Chains A and B, each alone.
Chain A
């Protein structure tokens, strides 16, 4: 290893060439450029020439003119024609065209130590061996003692349960898109798990249930992260030591290790993120051969992985942004290349739209289609969705429902808010606490089906039982004045001039009265939206509004979560502002009336786009609902990079097997330091270039890698980290891990560059090589050392 490194180093320092087409020795460059200039008269200004002329000996004023038209120092590709892949040019198209056949000849001319063909083959084999080693090591660490602890750890209780739901085909609701859980379910199904384990709470023993398939699947994806990081860094920096360093950081990071070993969404998410990143980088390398088979392959693979990342968690959006940014700058580059016709650019654009927008969207939608197809039984998630949606689920009382169609007095009904994820009008035997309006019975909305959601429609002026068979059936009509009596507690829906518990200026809604006898504040006018007065009111289809007769306000739900005293159900208020919002529109869902004939309603079957839209709305609302409470310690984004505090996976009791998610401090603090150093070094180089400093060829090659490859990784880190500062929802430590992957890769590139720079600045080649190797080794050993102590 050591000798391989030093040989590589020698080759690299010799062949690290500037990225620009003029990649020749500094002396040759000027002459060559002057020769080139008249050769391209069709490009009078623009960055093509500006970039070239800027560093030549043209007079200062002339230079100033030319630099004016220059874009920010954008340069294609990394160092050209590295030895590692001599036949595949890595530069932008015009670059290749300009240089043409010289590329292959360059290294030979420049490096006296260039290895012979045989040794190149040997090196290729070595590269594969290294990759295999990295992969093996990663798998070994991840699969080591995978079956321990044999009980539920942390969020396994959720995701394992959801995997079981897929196997049992019961409908459930979760704030994340379905792909990840579907894969978990599939893995469980294939490995012979029958979906009977309840996954009730962390700490429950698995006993005879087969959980290894699901854990193994997650660990498999988690292990692949390391080779992916290795390949990405290799592609970006063309430096084996950098790639090895990144891989070592990830292999020996205890946090990544722990997170990969359990039935969680994170390994799946990180797998797709890293796969998307890798295929994007690979595809960038193919840019010189557009529309070739590998080009299409990597491009569409990028799209597929994007769909995967988004399909597991919405955090996948960040990698989409990164790929999007890369694509836009790529297209911008192509567009500015005057040798390409507009039609060609159009083709490029179409290819990207197809592979990066249409393809992922199709796949993403397809996962939902599968999701809805698989989950066709009624389950715990029903209440989150609209009545029409529930009618699809077998076992739900709305499935093939036959209920009376028109509302009549005496009917027992449930009333559901039309706004998604608000739920049913609900009341229960608990009073509003003192100091919050009148101390009367609480009225809330509740997402789950429950006996307390039942209400009886009564006339406002008589208390006679309308179900008495001696009375004729009387239908409720639009504009009628009614009372709603809560079936379980016999209290009337009531409102009055007291402020609502959470929303200021709204009125409080309570349950009032004894055995159905209340006062005039219990009277509500029932109205159907967009209907004429006197019409009957239909179940499910009529959109109704309840207007309080005395105060004139409208019954609505604010969608805010009540504190503990309200069991964290949602607040119901009476709004004096008659704004047209869905919050104040309701529909009748269940309807029981023995006096009326049941009619089989072919309920409006929602179309697939409607279902898709609805489930997204519900997920977004669910995500927004995850708010931290006061007086509760929550993890803050700034805690994460400094490894401030971990997450307890398992082991509440003293006797238990304890698992604690915490990063390897050496790795994490090194990463943190590297980001600071990177920004410092990057800006120094950028300013130096902008000031027109002449960088030696070696340094220029290194700085290209640093600015280009490192820049992409830094962007990835920022995109996966900073948005969390803006999020209002409750955050956990494990949210940082995608960002941590990027910062580890950045660390690899940065330290490799720094060491090479140091080695280059030392006069003696022997000393330089020694120092480089020593630095790398110490970094590698440092990470590995801590790992031993940190594992369990």
Chain B
């Protein structure tokens, strides 16, 4: 999924006939929306992975085991990201392939 796409951003900034102050404010507001869109895109991504891991047959509500699994899934994915980033940096530093 795209976050706030570059096309929207470029269209907004180049097509607009704005004064300097207005353009700065617009850039600030677009940056805020971009950050929100990035958050949402990440949640979609987590759902992609964590739904399969944590939810069996959909019932009348999510039980606490499922809720804990979903929360843990998010944290463990982030931990995995850190682990891979740091180990990869070590590998690259040692001149490995």
A, B from the same assembly: no
